[in-house]
Structure 1
Amino acid sequence: MNFSPDEVIELFNQALERTPAERAACLDQACSGDSGMRHRMEELLRAHDSAGAFLQTPVSLLHAAEPIGEGPGKRVGRYKLIQQIGEGGCGVVFLAEQEQPVRREVALKIVKPGMDTRSVIARFESERQALAMMEHPHIAQVFDAGATEAGRPYFVMELVRGERITDYCNHRKMTLKERLKLFVQVCHAVQHAHQKGIIHRDLKPSNILVSTTQEGEPLPKVIDFGIAKATAGQQLTDRTFFTAFEMLVGTPAYMSPEQADLKNLDVDTRTDIYSLGVLLYELLTGTMPFEVREIQKAGLDEVRRDILDKLPVRPSIRLKSLTAGGLGTSSQQRHVEAPRLPRLIRGDLDWIVMKTLEKDRSRRYPTANALALDVQRHLANEPVTARPPSRLYQVGKLVARNRLLVGSLAVIALLLVTSLATVSLSLARERTAREQAESERTKAKEEEKKTSRANEVLGEMLSSVAPSMALGRDTTILRELLDRTDGEISKNLKDQPEVEAKLRMLLGNSYFEIRDIGSAERMLRRALEIYEASDRPKRLETASAKSALGYISLSNGDLEEAEAYFKSADELWREFGPKGKEGEIRTMEYLAIMRSRQGRNEEAESLMRRVYESRRTRNSPEDLELINTLTSLGLVLHGAGKYAEAESSYREALQMMHRKHGAEHPIQLGTMMNLAKVTSAQGKADEEKGFLREAVALYRKRFHPDHPGRLEATLKLAEVHRKAGDLASAEPLYREVIENGSGKDDARPTSANASLSLVQALLAKKMTGEAKTVLDQALTAEFMATPACIPLLETRASLLARAGRWKEAVADAAKLVEMQPDNHERYHKLAPLLVAAGDHEAYRHLCPEIVVRFAATTNARIADRMAKDCLILPGAVEDLAPVGRMADLALKGGGNDVALPFFQVCKALADLRQGNFAAAADLAGKAVPSSFKEAEVEALAVGAMALQRMNQPEEAKRLLAQGTTTFETKLSKLESGELRGNWEDWVIARALLEEARALIDGGSPK
């Protein structure tokens, strides 16, 4: 095969645009049968790669001398180039500063000198035009375009400071739900591009960068439309530009089958759907549909064969095939226990992903929006379109994993469906009856009675079941039963808005009883919509819906919306006169609770007392509404600090509950817990203990051991015993909570709190061994995959460190850094521990990460800790300038801080590492003497090393001897098995003393 000069240049540029791993496949295809050209290309590529800093742009095959290109400090148009932030095969991206008409930082992309071939310029202009056509919050925007004085095109775009989407999710341990919501945003961006007639053709994690907004929300941006293709009717550039026949375009791991088919140039928007599917696969599992290693090692033909013919494994199956370590890593990054991750993905998510990865594009989602909608259906627990909606599948979506009470609830489900069928049938008959002769009117009335009774039966069932379930029994079955009823209403009562609204009101109340606030709000909003759209919008039902929605807004913390609803409802209630009095009272009660939360205590109390007086005159003495009002009054008084009055209100409500429901009915548990709180606030420890004992006894009699309320009450009783110094009574209660709460997701935080409290109690009694045992038992592998473990893990790391068990402590500290990579305290434990354990290599790997994460901090204490952590050993950080700036900040910002001696030592140590020996010696001397003996020892060691470097050996020896004496006489001894005080600085002080001794005496560190 003979290659023309232009073809040689084109092939070289194409190879440069690929990663080293992808080049082999490119050359295999392009140079097939021409070993000489293959050898020539490899030599050119090696020469380019080995040129290093000497060649900043690719070699030009047409010019012997390298053209002079733009660089930092130079100007391109009205933009000043600051620094290079990216580079591809044919273009360079700079961080640039725009001064006019607005001042801002931008990204400027320009064709490399020597790379301005027809093909490259055409592709560059195509990318520029593609970006200019789009305006979407999740696509990088183009601001400007032009050409340099040398004629090379450039364009200016939005500066995106972010991480690859997969890295962003993993570093923050985002849950599956959070990842899916982020993925939906990406789908919307791709849909926008498709609507503009642009196919991206290279969607992959590195082309989707995610940053964090000021509100803390993730913000994805799709970038790099360098190989984008226009659909029919669109033109991205006036230059001739085409994809060569049998040329592989895109990234193999994310490439669709039609892209891999080199003879098929008919690529449409569904190729991006396939790439989105690969991305979703990776977001869910942390792996690819096809092994990346296999792709990189295989030749082009084998890669294409896999993409075209090999069926990917379902995500849930791929997870099950991972090693224990691989599955553990994936589950930790997704904030879920390892055994649960495949189960969470199995089903809907499997089917969604596999639909996107169909070989036949006609079987994929037709649009990115269709894919996003199916993901949103899954998030809303609605049936997805990716799987045929068989009856078995629909039932599977609704049946609970917990079969508790399934028999009785199945009967209720049957009654619900039958009732709805009766409603629909009766109404149909009613319409027919109205059209019949006068003799049929009696029959119509009878049918109307049946309809009314059917609604009453349904309402009674919904009203009676929910509260009983809410008393602590498992609500999973009921929730799915309500969901099924919701579906039946949507299907059977579309043409009966009045009936639908009434039933949705009942469903809303039932959802609220089981604390499914989102579903309750959805039901009530739909009911209100129906009522307001009717010919009688001002009715009791409308007021009731608004009042209920106001309380939901109050529960959600949206006080402004809540007040608007309450005001509107109150106006309606007043229009109805006596008929609306009960609704008016109820709305006033809600408003009083809101005023209490706003801190408007006098107004809240006044409103609640009016509610109480109104109910006392209208209701029977032991009516449940009156009892609840007394409890609400107690809460308002409690919030205002009127503890004695609140206690009186609670006690009266409790007595009425006893008379109406008996002394063992669980309805009184909330009031008993409130009484415990209010007596505690008044210092009545014995009464608090008594109420808690009664509550725990009742919980044990009526509820399962892992019920959250029971665990919480037991924990509070244990805490009361511990504060009284009665560890013997507290310990079994703590262990009860730990044992019963460790196996259930919503109870694990309570279990963790119990473990932590028990450990603190044991440590206070110097029972270190027992405390360590409790920690080991609590910190199972499954529990350590959840954030609830962090306080326990931190406690164990410190416990091990104080005992000098450095390597064990390192493991826990490293796990903490992994779970909270933005928390400086985690690094302040790990860095000294690595030094103490002698793992200097790991320490030197950690320090650059500390600099990257915390160099921009403005907090003096954080700056002090992070700088000092990077300076414990010499040479841990290559560029000491940012570390020095952190040390400067600590000293400057901490002038009045009690920890000033530590800040002085940190700055002195930074000066020492940077060779400023006189400044180091002077500042170290200012930290001696100090009430913080760890800081004093550190200062003496730094001063000794600085003086030795200044050729003052005698004075250096004196300071070293003083530091050694202080360390041995004033600080804890490791042999004691319990390092007291600041163990992190104990480690740093010892390390600096050993370094000083080795420098001054020439001996080996001990």
Structure 2
Amino acid sequence: MDARDKAAWREADRILDQLLDLAPEHRAAALEATAPDPALRAMVERLLAAHGNATGPLECAPNLDSLDPREGGSLAGKRLGRWRLVEEIGRGGMAAVYRATSEEVPVGQLAAVKVLTLGALAAGGHDRFLREQQLLARLRHPGIVPLYEGGVAEDGTPWLAMALVDGERIDAWCNDRGADLETRVGLLLQIAGALAYAHRNLVIHRDIKPSNVLVDEDGHVRLLDFGIARLADELEPERTATALRALTPQYAAPEQFAGDAPGTAMDVYGLGALAYCLLAGQPPHGEGGRGTERPPPPSRARRMEDRREGAARAWARRLKGDLDTIAMKALAERPEDRYASIEAMADDLQRWRERRPIRARAPSLGYRLGRLIARRRAATAALLAVVVLGAVAAGQIAVQQHRAQEQAARASIVRDFLADVLASSDPSEGEIPDALDILETGARRAREELRTTSPLAAADVLSITGSARNALNDLDGAEADLLHALEILEGLPQPSPPELSRVHWSLGVLYKMRGTRRSLDHHLAAVEWVRKWDAPATERVKAEVSLASAWSRYGQMADAEQRLREVLAGIPEAGIEGTQEHMDALNALTSILARRNGPLEERIALHEQRTEVGRLLYGADNGWYAYTLADAVPTLRRDPAHLPRAEEMAREAVAITERIYEEPHMFAAVATCNLAALLAQSARMQEAAGYYSRAIGIDEALQRNDLHARSCRFGRAYVLASLGQADAARDDLARDRTMLSVMELERSGEWMNNCAMEALLQVAAGTSAAAAATLDDCRTQHAPADGGPIPLFELANAELHIAQDRPDLAAPILRALREVLPPGEPTRRWLRPWLLSVHVARETGDAPLEAQLRAQLRPHMADEAAGPCLDAGDVPRACPAFP
């Protein structure tokens, strides 16, 4: 097939796609109007005939296309597998979609059942189709609409049952809400995450377009039809018509028209085409289908589409440059000219959001510095000021030493040298040099020129450039400069304790960022050297706190705690109360006591002290002060007497972040999530769900994937389960598992808690076999190495035994839970195990134990909404499963 034939088939397929959306009786007239060329019209007629030869599903029903709802034809009322089709909710060239309900366990479950119009399966196709849908059913990602199951009707027509998603197609969602560029790019990043996950599981989408991407009210993206294109090829690879039906001309990659083997580059093109649509307001090849010319950049297309003054022009201006570059690279004709992977494209989109240089553009100095200034104007100015004036600080410290005149002269040398570096940094091609280039020039000249005339001054310069590079995340350059500075200092005839202590401290900070144990070695050396000179109190405390933090990271918790207590005891005498160093010491000790489960009263007192120091140090309208308040909430809410104070601090933290942050910020996410957890503990579940959703929205905007962000997601799952929203809770649990996988926590207590929640939901839904499988799989694949008991997981096992009428097996589990979760424990985790214990005692005929348990429970049940359920005949069903 030559290029001309391919172009003709593409145009025929575009027309066919339009005709299939019409009733059969209207297609002939539409074909006459849209395809005046007889040869082209004949090709379309062949495709229509091939499409019409497929048999329809169920009980010798006619072809699906003849079941036109306007003529009363429908599959509503028919049954496929366990699904009863209720009503048609959509139709396209490849399938009709029905709302359906399950008539088997779990009875009443909703689904969207897609009946594929691919024709009866050929010999062997039945098995291929079932194998394929099993592969797709394993895809479990929050951005992918899950496939429940698939099957084949008696006449050979394949069908798929997937989750029924309440959402709006992505382009309509954006347009209806007037979504800005940042929001649209954020949605694209969510899609990229789902596609990257699919690619890692060897599944390619191949039909990315607006109608296959839904967005819910909370801004969460869901991709539909994963693998449908692949299924089409598997079922009837020999038919050109079917192969062409597996793509959408406006969004398909060139190699799809040529019939090339599928590859991830097709999805890179598809995501680029979708990005183009969201940014430019139209598909890259126009609403009429694929043309032969390369599309214009999105900024130019936007101008052509809307020439109104004002907003449209400003929009196009923001598209020009990086976003144009990203979209056009993804849309390159040749796969090898596109991004190498979905992750690479996502990285550039994220870089655009963060005002960092994208990798798809040549890294000119002017461009890189422009990006640096755009994202951190104040930080850039501060950095350059540090480079120019860093030596002044060295001079101010030096005058405190017995060699003041010598040290001041050295500071002058450093200052003059750095000023000369700035003056001699000739911009290439008339552009302003990047700050990192200036630092590299200074470091190189210090090694090559300054070291021969003034080694100490050269070490000063390399310490300054190394610390600055570290702040800019140039860890390799920072490490090289700092190690070179250390080499110079260690080679001097007489050691210089001030410089050695500082360079070791800087290396300790750097290796902490790298996550290596060398940080501990350098912090130990920093403390040893800082004690060998008359260092200011702030410098001594900084070194000691850093060493204690390093010890705690590597298991020396007792040593760390003792050192921090000594440091804090000496702060008043040193006269540095209320300083950042004082705050750092309080933070470190508080963290260690939390990890060691230290005395609660002392931890609460430390948090109150941190709050006081933080307000003095940062001021009342400051993010760090809000974070200090929010960080105290999890500790204070563990004591019922401090719950009102905990809520006061939580709400103040949220109010501050709402006041001072216009853009999503980590401190806002932490404050909001901690308030949500406190509300959930107080059984204010509806309000808690709202705050959890706000916090999760911030985390998603920031692409946070740490333990705090996942605990927020898990917390919302629990709250939604308590509110009876089981499907939404399962969705959060699926997202939680994805986050844990990214953090490589497949074997952890967090994962076991996730399994436990999933199993509890399954028990509540009456699917005990599924719950047993969940718990067994989790125990085998996800149990942490230490093997310690995990209360929620143990509770799920007890619930399963009770549901299977084996109360004798539940009894010892519940007895162990009662020992670690006494009645009245403020997190309310005690409530369900104790209520179940009453039920099990009754079921096993242990009347004395039942009476004892009731007596222990009564004083604590007065304030519990679950109080009346204690006297119910069926405690497991009558009492809240998620209190």
TM range (shorter): 0.3 to 0.5
| Structure with greater Cα Rg | 1
TM-score (norm 1): 0.41
